[in-house]
Structure 1
Amino acid sequence: MKAVDQFQIRNWQPSDRTPVTNLIRSVLAEYHLDFEPAAADCDVVEVEKYYLTTGGEFWVIQQDDQLVGTGGYYPVMRGEKAVEIRKMYLLPHVRGLGLGKYLLQQLEQAIAARGFMQIWVETASVLTTAVKLYEHNGYQPASGVETARCDRVYVKQLTNYALDYSY
């Protein structure tokens, strides 16, 4: 059994709004970053508006009945046929199991299957594990950070994207 097999990735539901908000607020606080419901985190407060009605997806990750992570993407007007991956957060006790890499790969597969050509992601340098994850998975540094809390932006081209992964 692979470590990731103990987790379930499922679509966000309205009943997840408060638990998701609390999870993201908790992870941000670990890194001394503020939860910004009227700015950088407005998409979590209004998942329907930012993800579900725009052609994106927002997922939650569960272990047994506990919410342990989140991740999503939605189309953006950057580049050609582009999306931005957002809100990839995992609670501390599930980090280091390969779940972040697995989640990223699942998001990439879903994005590619919908015909998108580019993936953008913004992050903060203090999120060192996230920075390493993106850099080790083909994301190239770019310019044009749009989120005040972030100081890094990356892009990945999906042309000739291989959907075959070995875990």
Structure 2
Amino acid sequence: MQTPAPADIQVSRFEPADQQGVIDVIVPIQREEFGIAITAQDQPDLKSIPDFYQTGTGDFWVAKQGQHVIGTIGLKDIGARQAALRKMFVAAPFRGRELGVAALLLNTLLEEALSRGVKDIYLGTTDTFLAAHRFYEKNGFTEVAKAQLPDSFPVMAVDSKFYVRRC
């Protein structure tokens, strides 16, 4: 049974005021924890979240403690009632089953996707994110070969392992 997140941690739909907080969570994790030489400028979706994610069946959510962004998750509409899970990041002090921030973010995305008629959610990750693999698998995602991805799936250069969840 998932432990509920502390009362002061809330998930809400991205608003423009969250922009810098999103960048401040994502980029340091990419660069410092995972050693990916990437900047916010290399990720145009981070500068235009409403236009990139919040269209069609897609959306973007943030987890906050007070007004501080501590986690992110995006759903990118890729057509044909399919979507891509993108930009799922939780700041290190807020990770783990005890706080449940990742589960709170994912459950928000899954509930919204279902209510919007999404039938398949795909994601890409790297071979080295073992904790992420376990998390996705525990939450109903199954591994798929790259060749099984829809043509519209936005494969990132760092992606080497792929998953799908049928809604």
Bucket of the pairwise TM-score, normalised by the shorter protein: 0.7 to 0.9
SS at match of 1:93: helix
Partner of 2:140: 138
Matching residue within 64, 69, 72 for 2:71: 69
- Distance in 1, matches of 2:25 and 2:41, equals 17
* Aligned residue number for residue 102 of structure 1: 104
> What's the counterpart of residue 26 of structure 1?
28
User: 1:43 Cα shift?
Assistant: 1.6
- TM-align CA RMSD: 1.9
- The answer (yes or no) to whether the contact 1:25–1:34 under 8 Å persists in 2 is no
Distance 1:140 1:19, change over 3 A: same
Number of the residue aligned with 1:8: 10
Quick check: 136-145 or 17-26, which moved more?
A: 136-145
**Offset at residue 88 of structure 1 (A):** 0.8
Amino acid at match of 1:103: L
SS in 2 for 1:110: helix
In structure 2, C-alpha distance between the alignment counterparts of 1:33 and 1:88, rounded to whole Å: 15
Contact 2:75 2:86 in 1 (8 A): yes
Structure 2 vs 1, CA of residues 3 and 49 (structure 1 numbering), >3 Å: closer, same or farther?
A: closer
CA deviation digits over 1:20-73, x for unaligned, max 9?
A: 11210011121112335465x322121122112343111111112211011110
Whether the aligned pair in 1 keeps the contact of 2:57 and 2:113 (CA below 8 Å) is: no
Whose relative contact order is higher, 1 or 2, with alpha carbons under 8 Å and at least 6 apart? 2
The two structures have a TM-score, normalised by structure 1, of 0.83
Q: Hey, what's the Cα distance between the residues in 1 that align with 2:6 and 2:22?
A: 20
Partner of 1:83: 83
Unaligned runs of 5+ in 1: 159-167
Taking structure 1 as reference, are residues 111 and 4 closer, same or farther at Cα in structure 2, changes over 3 Å only?
farther
Whole-angstrom CA distance in 2 between matches of 1:3 and 1:23: 19
**1:121-152 Cα deviation digits (max 9, x unpaired):** 11122222211111111111112271101111
| TM-score of the pair, normalised by structure 2 | 0.83
Provide the rounded CA distance (Å) in 2 between the counterparts of 1:34 and 1:134. Answer: 25
Residue correspondences, number: 155
Look up the SS of the partner of 2:7 in the other structure: helix
Distance 1:148 1:98 in 2: 29
Contact 2:62 2:105 in 1 (8 A): no
Match of 1:53 in 2: 55
**Counterparts of 1:123 and 1:20, CA distance in 2:** 19
